[in-house]
Chain A
Amino acid sequence: MRSILTIYRKELTDHFSSNKFLVLLALIYIAGLSSTYVALQNIRESASGLGKYVFLYLFTTGGDVLPSFITFISFFIPIIGIIFGFDAINSEKNSGNLSRLLSQPIYRDSVINGKFLAGITTLSIIIASIVFIISGIGLFSIGVPPTSEEILRIFFFIFICIFYGGFWMGLSILFSVIMEKTAASILTAIAIWIFLMFFLPIIANAIANGIAPLENASVADQIRNFNIGQGILRISPSTLFAESIAILLVPTARLFQPTLLNIVQTPPQNPLSLGQSLIQVWPQLVVIVALAIICFAISYIIFMRQEIRST
């Protein structure tokens, strides 16, 4: 256990003192603070019509020019996860450190566990810090404290973000275990992210339109088209994450309806309780947590079974 802590501490120090950490932190803070500024303006303009969950609008409201904080964070979390994992193992191998490290009296899994935990801690600190900063600014600017339910929803949001980031980190660690070159592992992870983020929606749309065309379609066919497209999109953890955070941070939103994105901007009047929202997104949450665990478990198994060479 002590060896995991030693490796964890060292990796954490490396992350915090690295340029990539500072750059990512700066990007996320700029994006977060900008979206908060836009959100605050929108909240002030339509304060009377926002209903019960004013505080959560800080995270979900965007403008014409800048998207909302949750849109930004959906984009940045995979990048953070990939960047903190893509060279975890292969860089140690290439630098000749791995065999020296493993010749110390430590179990082999201490290395991968220590690295994963340090990456997750760094990711958690980045996400939690920006969420708390936005909350602080919101509290100061709006003057309305969050309700206990809003606080819980924000904590669940942070929790999902961490597991979603954990999935991407697990995936990039997996590539760092199986690929020798760090360039190959980061490019593969980014290629998968680009595919899931940008190409899968196009493919899903094309398939849905092919099976249930929208031209002169009845309402039933439109819903079928939506269901087919959404079903395909749910292969992607990005979709599952987007659905989860939308339902958690927009209590009035519902799953399985075609006008989901419109709802986020013009909410209906019947918000769900936290429990009901959680029931709605429970499958998504389970899959995100499971994917993060599965990715890391595969990396772990492959790393433990790999032959160690002297160079």
Chain B
Amino acid sequence: MSEDNNIIIAKDLSKKYNEHLVVDNLNLAIKKGEIFGLLGPNGAGKSTVILMALGLTEPSSGSINVAGFNSTREPLEVKRITGYLPEKVGFYEDMSAKGNLTYTAELNNIPYREIPKKIDEVLEIVELTKNKNQLVKTFSKGMKQRLGIADVLIKDPRLVFFDEPTEGLDLKVANHILQTILDLNKQKNITFLLSSHQLNLMQKVCPRVGILSRGKLIGEGTVENLGRNLFGGGKYRIELELEKVTDGLIEKLKKLDKVVNVNKVDNQLQVICDKDIRQDISRLIAAEDILMTRMDMKQDALEEIYLKYFKEE
């Protein structure tokens, strides 16, 4: 785990609340400039990992470094360069958006004369410029989430932690938030760590994910690689429902180009392959004179990988 390329390095990180192990010996490295998704069901320990990275909670053992600073021993240095949007983002409801952002800016020691300009800049990014003087209590959940992003951006962070950034938002707003994350990553080279259990949404923005279950990192890598490891290789899975399944048919299917494996379950076959070969399969089955009642193709979606990992939970 090279310190130069990684902005977050967790080594043997564990956290116990009373005697309950919430994070179990986590080893993780997140590269500068990447968008990393930390996935897992509720209670998997995602938020605790973020809180330890920010120095808000002390690890029971192990260490976590952010941009070369030890989060436990140098929390102020870490917090100076990171932004954090909690799952339930709170603002002072009786203050305006501008008032809330001014308060955050002051806490970050931003010079007074620069604050108004900074506020205008971040509100423009999240498209809340015209709501600048509106009281936060009149904001919708989506607007508050966008204000949360503005609040995080006001300190020009190098790394941003978003805890469940799309939780409770409708699809349009969630997509808007994710697009903002992508834009910020691209334009300002900000590293993002997104924790979520909304896998379909995370898949859109996170090239690399880590899957956390009961505090353990049980899978890490690109979505494609996770799928390959899990389903025995092959990018695509073609499911066939047939009148009958013969050994001869299975052998012939295995010999088709780009087929990695063929699994049989009753009268169903699952063909794992690296290419969309549905036409070849149709031809072969027709030649064998077997009636096919259904054929579906599935790409290894994060949702399925996730379900596979958590089928025992």
Residues of A within 8 A of B (CB): 2-3, 6-7, 10, 14, 92, 95-107, 307-311
Return the chain B residue nearest A9 by Cβ. Answer: B106
B1 interface residue per 8 A CB criterion:
no
Chain A residue nearest to B92 (CB atoms) is A97
| Closest chain A CB from B190 CB (angstroms) | 15
A residues within 8 A CB of B92?
14, 95, 97
Specify which chain B residues have a CB less than 8 angstroms from the CB of A100 in the assembled complex: 84-86, 89-91, 148, 151
Interface string of B96-132 (1 = CB under 8 A from A): 0000000110111100000000000000000000000
Residue of B nearest to A306 (CB): B57
Q: Which of B47, B56, B108 contacts A105 (CB 8 A)?
A: B108
Question: Is A6's CB under 8 angstroms from B106's CB?
Answer: yes
Complex: how many Å from CA A219 to CA B253? 113
Given contacts A99-B56, A103-B56, contact A311 B86 (CB under 8 A): yes
Contact of A95 among B82, B90, B107, B155 (CB under 8 A): B90
Contact residues, B49-79 vs A (CB, 8 A)? 50-51, 54, 56-57, 76, 79
* Contact (Cβ within 8 A) B104 A99: no
A263, chain B: closest CB distance, angstroms: 49
Beta-carbon contact of A105 and B17 below 8 Å: no
> Considering residues A6, A99, A102, A307, which has the most beta carbons from chain B within 10 angstroms of its beta carbon?
A99
Most chain A beta carbons < 10 A, residue from B84, B86, B87, B104: B86
Q: Give the residues in chain A near B104, CB-CB below 8 Å.
A: 104
CB–CB B89/A96 < 8 A: yes
Task: State whether A307 touches B17 (Cβ < 8 A).
Answer: yes
In chain B, positions 27-57 with a C-beta closer than 8 Å to chain A are 47, 50-51, 54, 56-57
Can you sample 16 A-B contacts with CB below 8 Å?
A6-B107, A95-B93, A96-B89, A96-B90, A97-B91, A97-B92, A100-B151, A101-B107, A102-B56, A103-B54, A104-B155, A105-B108, A106-B79, A307-B17, A310-B51, A311-B87
A3-B107, A10-B103 are contacts. A310–B87 as well, Cβ < 8 Å? yes
Taking the nearest CB of chain A, how far is it from the CB of B78, in angstroms?
9
CA distance A311 to B168 in the complex (A): 14
Instruction: List chain B residues, Cβ under 8 A from A97.
Output: 90-92
Chain A residues closer than 8 Å to B85, beta-carbon distance: 100
Interface status of B80 (Cβ within 8 A of chain A)? yes
For the complex formed, measure the closest distance between the CB of B135 and the CB atoms of chain A, giving whole angstroms: 13
- B109: chain A residues within 8 A (beta carbon): 2, 105
Cα distance A102–B51 when bound, in Å?
Answer: 10
Q: Of B57, B148, B155, which is in contact with the most chain A CB atoms at under 10 Å from its CB? A: B57
B163 beta carbon closer than 8 Å to chain A = yes
Whether A307 lies near B57 (C-beta < 8 A) is yes
User: A96, B88: Cβ atoms under 8 Å?
Assistant: yes
State whether A308 touches B56 (Cβ < 8 A). yes
A219 to B29, CA, bound (A): 83
Closest to A101 in B: B107
Q: A103-B56, A308-B51 are in contact. Are A96 and B86 (CB under 8 A)?
A: yes
Q: Can you name the residue of chain B whose Cβ is closest to the Cβ of A98?
A: B90
Q: How far in angstroms is the closest Cβ of chain A from B212?
A: 14
Contacts of B50 in A (CB 8 A): 310
Tell whether, in the assembled complex, residue B86 and residue A107 are in contact, meaning their CB atoms are under 8 Å apart.
no
Across the interface, name the chain A residue whose C-beta is closest to B76.
Answer: A105
Nearest Cβ in chain B — how far from A260, in angstroms? 46
**Are B88 and A103 interface neighbours, CB within 8 A?**
no
Contact (A310, B88) CB under 8 Å given A6-B106, A6-B107, A95-B93: yes
Contact B79 A308 (CB under 8 A): no
| Interface core residue of A6, A103, A104 (most chain B CB under 10 Å) | A103
- Contact (Cβ within 8 A) B86 A99: yes
What separation, in Å, do the CA atoms of A308 and B108 have in the docked complex? Answer: 20
Complex Cα–Cα for A3 and B106 (A):
8
Q: Chain A residues with Cβ under 8 A from B163's Cβ?
A: 310
Shortest Cβ distance from B124 into chain A, in angstroms?
21
The residue in chain A whose Cβ has the minimal distance to the Cβ of B154 is: A104
Chain B residues lying within 8 Å of A2, measured Cβ to Cβ, are: 109
Q: Report chain A residues within 8 Å CB of B83.
A: 103
Chain B residue nearest in CB terms to A308 = B56
A310: B residues at CB distance < 8 A: 47, 50-51, 86-88, 163
Separation in Å of the A214 CB from the closest CB of chain B? 54
Quick one: closest A residue to B106, CB to CB?
A: A6
Question: How far, in angstroms, from A307 to B82 measured CA to CA in the complex?
Answer: 20
Query: Do A107 and B76 touch across chains, with their CB atoms under 8 A apart?
Result: yes
B86 lies within 8 A of A6 (CB): no
A92–B103 Cα distance when bound, in Å, is 15
Complex CA–CA separation, A3 to B107 (angstroms) = 6
Which among B54, B84, B88, B109 has the greatest number of chain A C-beta atoms within 10 A? B88
The 8 A-B pairs with the shortest beta carbon distances in the complex, nearest first, are A96-B90, A103-B84, A310-B47, A97-B90, A95-B90, A96-B88, A104-B107, A105-B79
B57 and A308 within 8 A (CB): yes
Q: Which of B50, B88, B90, B148 has its CB near the most chain A CB atoms (within 10 A)? A: B90
Q: Given the complex of chains A and B, what is the CA–CA distance between A107 and B80 in angstroms?
A: 12
Bound Cα distance from A307 to B54, whole angstroms = 13
Task: Find out whether the CB atom of B103 lies under 8 angstroms from the CB atom of A6.
Answer: yes
> Within the assembled complex, what's the spacing in Å between the Cα atoms of A270 and B137?
62
Q: Are B79 and A104 in contact (CB under 8 A)?
A: yes
Task: Write out the residue numbers on chain B whose beta carbons fall within 8 Å of the beta carbon of A99.
Answer: 51, 56, 84, 86
Determine the residue in chain B with the shortest Cβ distance to A6.
Answer: B106
Give chain A nearest CB distance to B56 CB in angstroms.
4
